[in-house]
């Protein structure tokens, strides 16, 4: 046995040859995160009459590997707002700690935490923008849901560049391609959120999650869903996509073993 | 030369447990001209008596707008007040930039309180020679805070600081229960009357020497931005005070006007 601790846990030189230290970069530009590592996929959100629904699946992928299947990607802030995270999971955990410390600081005030979802979204967008300007981005795309200062339902997105976007229904990641068209068909602009019921909004998101599970290879059939109303936040983190039917898969050609 | 051995700096306690420099700073507040603040369920009002150093000079500003939702009234060294109000303006702006919300009153008052306290615990520093009344609205409604050179801050329903302010405080204490139910204009009148109480025999409130600041919630529950009444703008308020007082006198009462 080699008694030098620096050799422990390494491939043995006598078996594998000496380590080629040119793999280690010792010069050149400093590289911050240039790609995410463990990632969450889509976040979906819809406004309805009197509130907002947010949903994500519970998967954290490591590349194409479905690495963690119980990751909660919806985070409640101060009992008033919910943030849904897509993108890098470790950066999500960092932002979650940031939110925790803000909540604690705000609660020193005699009136408690008075930051609403809109304030939170403004803040997080600034955090993202600052980090991207330092060439050290937080690799996330988030949705923030809750209420604004006028107690109107609020839903808005912010991404790793600090770009913000708002709409009555939003989706990040693959969902931006697959879920948004479904949501736009169900809730066209001219309908207005006043005509959308809570149940309808939840059903629509469940439908979108199912489509995403069918077609997004980085998704999972276990999901979390949060309903934010003036009465409070109903967060369910251990849900299962119901009524799957893979019959359509038989007809799909063009990849795998069925290339013809 | 010295009143005692324990007042050379602000870091040494006297054997009686007092910090004389802080007490002297509080004297500076007592020598400043009077400011009155009062608050009800919808509005927060600041009223100040301005002084001019000499006949030909302008009057010293007594009420400084920090942001559209908040203002401070000052008693004591105006230059110290400017340092504090500039700091408050910065903090308020930074809250609007990062969170998109007006800074909560108790937050910013705690911050200036902390700043003032460090001046009472570091060698070579001196306490601020100014007292402030901070009036404003936030998500929790209208507020009035008192700030002292010692770093002490209190949320108040009504308060007066500065020269002869005891007379104003007496008025405020006697009429405290009327404030909550009264309107914006009546609250201003109460503030002006409290201010008037402090005047010496040969003085009176004029449009030159009176400053009134109002901030609060409008009838729709939305914030009504801070408004400062000085010069010509103060004339209607002074007339309202005069009218209310003469109406009260007609009924054989000297003070009761809003029944």
Domain ranges of chain A: 42-237
Q: Both tokens of residue B225?
A: 């931005």
What is the spatial distance between Cα B133 and Cα B147, in angstroms, rounded to a whole number? 6
Chain A residues with beta carbon closer than 8 angstroms to that of B101 = 114-116, 119, 149
Torsion angles phi and psi, residue A162, rounded to 5? 90, 5
Q: How far is CA B161 from CA A144, A256, B24, B154, B214, in A?
A: 45, 82, 15, 13, 18
Q: Both tokens of residue A224?
A: 């979390």
Looking at the domain covering A42-237, what would its CATH class be?
A: alpha beta
HSE of B84 in the Cβ direction (CA atoms, 13 Å)? 36
**Residues of chain B falling short of pLDDT 50:** 252-253
For residue A117, the distance in angstroms to the closest alpha carbon of chain B comes to 10
Residue of B nearest to A106 (CA): B107
What is the spatial distance between Cα B227 and Cα B211, in angstroms, rounded to a whole number? 11
Query: Which string of DSSP letters, residue by residue, matches A176-192?
Result: HHHHHHHHHHHS-GGG-
Which of B99, B104, B106 shows the shortest C-beta gap to A123?
B99
Torsion angles phi and psi, residue A143, rounded to 5? -115, 135
What is the spatial distance between Cα A69 and Cα A208, in angstroms, rounded to a whole number? 19
> Residue B252: its pLDDT value, please?
47
Close Cβ partners of A39 (under 8 Å, ≥ 6 residues apart) = A60, A61, A86, A87, A88, A89, A139, A218
> Residue A13: its pLDDT value, please?
83
A82 close to A237: Cβ distance less than 8 angstroms:
no
Q: Both tokens of residue B200?
A: 């010496």
- Among A176, A173, A146, A40, smallest CA distance to A83 is for A146
CA B112 to chain CA centroid, nearest Å? 15
Residue B17: CB atoms within 10 A of its CB come to 6
B166 close to B195: Cβ distance less than 8 angstroms:
no
For chain B, say whether A35 makes contact (Cβ under 8 Å).
Answer: no
List A33, A122, A164, A229, catalytic entry:
A33
> Residue B5: its pLDDT value, please?
84
Q: How far is CA A42 from CA A85, A178, A211, B149, in A?
A: 8, 10, 12, 54
For chain A, say whether B140 makes contact (Cβ under 8 Å).
Answer: yes
Question: Do A126 and B104 count as a contact with CB atoms less than 8 A apart?
Answer: no
For residue A205, the distance in angstroms to the closest alpha carbon of chain B comes to 29
For residue B113, the distance in angstroms to the closest alpha carbon of chain A comes to 14
Chains A and B form CB pairs within 8 A to the count of 31
Mutate to test the interface with B, among A81, A107, A111 (most CBs of B within 10 A): A111
The question of whether A69 is a catalytic residue gets the answer: no
Interface of A with B in 103-132 (CB under 8 A): 109-111, 114-116, 118-120, 122-123, 126
Residue B254: CB atoms within 10 A of its CB come to 9
For residue B208, the distance in angstroms to the closest alpha carbon of chain A comes to 39
Interface confidence, given as ipTM, is 0.86
What is the spatial distance between Cα B31 and Cα B129, in angstroms, rounded to a whole number? 10
Q: How far is CA B144 from CA A93, B75, B130, in A?
A: 39, 15, 17
Helix or strand run (H / E) with residue A89: helix A89-106
> Residue B2: its pLDDT value, please?
57
Q: How far is CA A114 from CA A109, A161, A255, B39, B111, in A?
A: 9, 27, 52, 21, 17
Question: Do A119 and B101 count as a contact with CB atoms less than 8 A apart?
Answer: yes
Chain A residues with beta carbon closer than 8 angstroms to that of B138 = 111, 114
Mutate to test the interface with B, among A109, A120, A162 (most CBs of B within 10 A): A109
Chain A residues with beta carbon closer than 8 angstroms to that of B107 = 109
Residue B216: CB atoms within 10 A of its CB come to 24
What is the spatial distance between Cα A69 and Cα A41, in angstroms, rounded to a whole number? 12
B19 close to B10: Cβ distance less than 8 angstroms:
yes
Question: Do B101 and A123 count as a contact with CB atoms less than 8 A apart?
Answer: no
Close Cβ partners of B243 (under 8 Å, ≥ 6 residues apart) = none
B69 close to B215: Cβ distance less than 8 angstroms:
yes
**Residues of chain A falling short of pLDDT 50:** none
What is the spatial distance between Cα B66 and Cα B88, in angstroms, rounded to a whole number? 6
Mutate to test the interface with A, among B99, B105, B141, B154 (most CBs of A within 10 A): B99
Helix or strand run (H / E) with residue A159: strand A153-159
Chain B residues with beta carbon closer than 8 angstroms to that of A111 = 104, 106, 138-140
Which of B97, B100, B107 shows the shortest C-beta gap to A109?
B107
For chain A, say whether B221 makes contact (Cβ under 8 Å).
Answer: no
What is the spatial distance between Cα A218 and Cα B109, in angstroms, rounded to a whole number? 50
What is the spatial distance between Cα A39 and Cα A160, in angstroms, rounded to a whole number? 13
Mutate to test the interface with B, among A113, A119, A150 (most CBs of B within 10 A): A119
What is the spatial distance between Cα B159 and Cα B194, in angstroms, rounded to a whole number? 10
B31 close to B76: Cβ distance less than 8 angstroms:
yes
Q: Both tokens of residue B228?
A: 């400062």
Question: Do B138 and A114 count as a contact with CB atoms less than 8 A apart?
Answer: yes
Helix or strand run (H / E) with residue B137: strand B130-138
Q: Both tokens of residue A238?
A: 């251990």
CA-only gyration radius of chain B, Å? 19
Q: Which residue has the tokens 């949501």?
A: A183
SS3 state of residue A67: strand
A68 close to A59: Cβ distance less than 8 angstroms:
yes
Q: Which residue has the tokens 């009420």?
A: B63
């Amino acid at each position: 046995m080699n008694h030098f601790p620096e050799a422990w846990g390494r491939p043995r030189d006598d078996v594998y040859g000496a380590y080629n230290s040119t793999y280690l970069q010792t010069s050149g530009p400093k590289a911050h995160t240039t790609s995410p590592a463990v990632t969450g996929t889509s976040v979906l959100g819809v406004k309805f009459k009197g509130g907002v629904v947010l949903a994500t699946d519970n998967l954290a992928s490591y590349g194409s590997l479905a690495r963690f299947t119980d990751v909660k990607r919806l985070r409640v802030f101060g009992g008033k707002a919910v943030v849904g995270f897509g993108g890098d999971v470790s950066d999500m955990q960092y932002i979650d700690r940031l939110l925790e410390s803000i909540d604690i600081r705000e609660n020193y005030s005699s009136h408690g935490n008075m930051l609403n979802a809109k304030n939170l979204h403004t803040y997080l967008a600034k955090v993202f923008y600052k980090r991207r300007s330092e060439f050290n981005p937080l690799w996330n795309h988030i949705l923030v849901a809750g209420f604004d200062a006028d107690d109107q339902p609020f839903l808005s997105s912010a991404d790793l560049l600090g770009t913000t976007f708002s709409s009555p229904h939003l989706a990040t990641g693959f969902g931006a391609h697959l879920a948004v068209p479904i949501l736009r068909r169900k809730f066209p602009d001219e309908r207005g959120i006043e005509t959308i019921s809570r149940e309808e909004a939840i059903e629509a998101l469940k439908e979108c999650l199912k489509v995403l599970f069918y077609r997004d290879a980085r998704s999972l059939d276990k999901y979390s869903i949060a309903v934010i109303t003036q009465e409070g936040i109903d967060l369910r983190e251990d849900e299962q996509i119901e009524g799957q039917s893979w019959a359509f898969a038989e007809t799909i050609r063009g990849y795998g073993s069925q290339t013809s | 030369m010295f009143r005692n051995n324990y007042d050379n700096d602000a870091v040494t306690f006297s054997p009686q447990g007092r910090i004389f420099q802080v007490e002297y700073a509080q004297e500076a507040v007592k020598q400043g001209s009077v400011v009155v603040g009062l608050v009800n369920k919808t509005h927060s009002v600041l009223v100040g008596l301005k002084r001019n150093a000499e006949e030909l000079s302008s009057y010293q500003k007594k009420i400084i707008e920090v942001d559209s939702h908040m203002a401070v009234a000052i008693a004591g060294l105006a230059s110290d007040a400017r340092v504090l109000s500039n700091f408050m303006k910065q903090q308020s702006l930074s809250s609007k930039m990062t969170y998109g919300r007006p800074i909560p009153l108790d937050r910013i008052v705690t911050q200036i309180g902390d700043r003032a306290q460090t001046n009472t615990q570091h060698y070579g520093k001196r306490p601020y020679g100014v007292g402030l009344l901070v009036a404003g609205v936030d998500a929790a409604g209208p507020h009035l805070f008192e700030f002292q050179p010692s770093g002490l801050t209190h949320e108040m329903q009504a308060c007066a600081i500065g020269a002869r302010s005891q007379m104003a405080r007496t008025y405020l204490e006697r009429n405290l229960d009327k404030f909550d139910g009264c309107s914006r204009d009546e609250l201003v009148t109460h503030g002006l009357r409290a201010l008037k109480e402090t005047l010496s025999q040969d003085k009176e409130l004029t449009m030159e020497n009176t400053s009134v600041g109002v901030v609060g919630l409008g009838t729709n529950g939305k914030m009504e931005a801070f408004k400062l009444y000085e010069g010509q703008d103060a004339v209607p308020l002074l007339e309202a005070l005069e009218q209310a007082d003469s109406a009260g006198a007609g009924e054989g009462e000297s003070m009761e006007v809003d029944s």
